[in-house]
Amino acid sequence: MREDNIGFGGLRLLQEPEEFCYGVDAVILADFAAGVNPKKAVDLGTGSGIIPMILSHKTDAEKILGVEVQEASAKRAADSVKLNGLENRISIVGSDILAEGLKEKILEEMGAPEGVDLVTSNPPYMPGDASIPGNNIAKTIARRETTAKLEDFVRVAGELLCRRGHFFMVHRPSRMVDICCFMRKYGLEPKELRMVSPRAGAEPNILLIHGIKGAGPELRVLDTLCVHGEGDSYTDEIERIYERK
C-alpha cells in the first residue's frame, strides 16, 4: 500500500498500486461538482475516496459520504479519512449501491430525510460483457459493470437527491445518449455538458455532465476542456483544477 500526497491542502490518500488508482477524470469531476458548494453530498462508487477528499477541500460541505462495493477499497478510503482527520465530515460505506435498504441507511446517516443536495459518480465505464475480464479482480470491478449498471447509478442518484439537488457524473462520450435518457427517466434534467479531450484538436474521450432533479429542460454545452498542452504538460485549466497555479 502507498501513501500519496495528492495536494489540495496537503491531503494524503492510501492507494494500492496493484489495484485501481484514481485518475484525472475523478479530479475534474470533483472540481466540476464543487461549484455548487453543497451541504451534504454522496459519492457513488467512491473507490479510494478521492472525490470526497477533494470535495472536503474545495467546498464547505458539512457531511460527505462515499459508497464503495469493494471491501478492501472501502477500508483504505476509510483509513484515508482517518489519516487526514476528516472523520467529522467524511464517512465511507462499504456496499453495493443495489443493496436493499441502502437509500434509507444513507439518508438517515446524513440527517437528510428529504434527500441530499449533491450526488457524484465516477462509475465503471465498460459493460461487464465488453470483453474477457483480466486476472486482477479489483481492477475488473472498478472498470466494468460487474453488478450495478449505468442506469442503476443514475437511478440511485435520483433517489438520494432532494428536489433541485445536483447530480454530476463523469463517463465516456459514447454513453452520452444513454446517460441523458436515464437521467430524464429518473427525474434528473441534464443542464450542463462538457467534453474533455487529451489535447487541443483531439477527439474527446471523457464526458462531464450535470443534472438537476426536477428542473426544466435546457442544456448548455460548455467549452471543451483540454488536459494536455504542448508535450505532456497540463493546460493552465488542469493546473488550476489541481491547484498548482
What's the CATH code of the domain at 139?
3.40.50.150
Average pLDDT over residues 123-138: 62
**DSSP designation for 234:** B
Average pLDDT over residues 124-136: 62
| Average pLDDT of every residue of the chain | 91
pLDDT at 158: 98
CA distance 215 to 183: 11
The radius of gyration of the chain from alpha carbons, rounded to an integer in Å, stands at 17
What sign does the CA torsion over 62, 45, 125, 197 have? positive
pLDDT at 139: 44
**DSSP designation for 235:** P
CA distance 175 to 55: 25
The domain total for the chain is 1
CA distance 59 to 200: 30
Residue 32 confidence (pLDDT) above 60: yes
Residue 136 confidence (pLDDT) above 60: no
Residue 69 confidence (pLDDT) above 90: yes
Residue 60 confidence (pLDDT) above 70: yes
Residue 148 confidence (pLDDT) above 90: no
CB distance 4 to 13 below 8 Å: yes
Q: Which of 13-17, 55-59, 114-118, 198-202 has the lowest mean pLDDT?
A: 13-17
Kindly report the number of other CB atoms within 10 A of residue 50's CB atom.
Answer: 27
CB distance 119 to 42 below 8 Å: yes
Residue 142 confidence (pLDDT) above 90: no
Query: What cell does 167 get?
Result: 447530480
pLDDT at 79: 96
pLDDT at 1: 80
pLDDT at 232: 84
pLDDT at 129: 58
pLDDT at 143: 52
**Measured in whole angstroms, how far is the alpha carbon of residue 140 from the centre of its chain?**
18
pLDDT at 226: 97
pLDDT at 236: 95
Which residue range forms the structural domain that includes residue 127? Answer: 2-241
User: Identity (one letter) of the amino acid at 109?
Assistant: E
pLDDT level of residue 245 (50, 70, 90 thresholds): low
Residue 230 confidence (pLDDT) above 80: yes
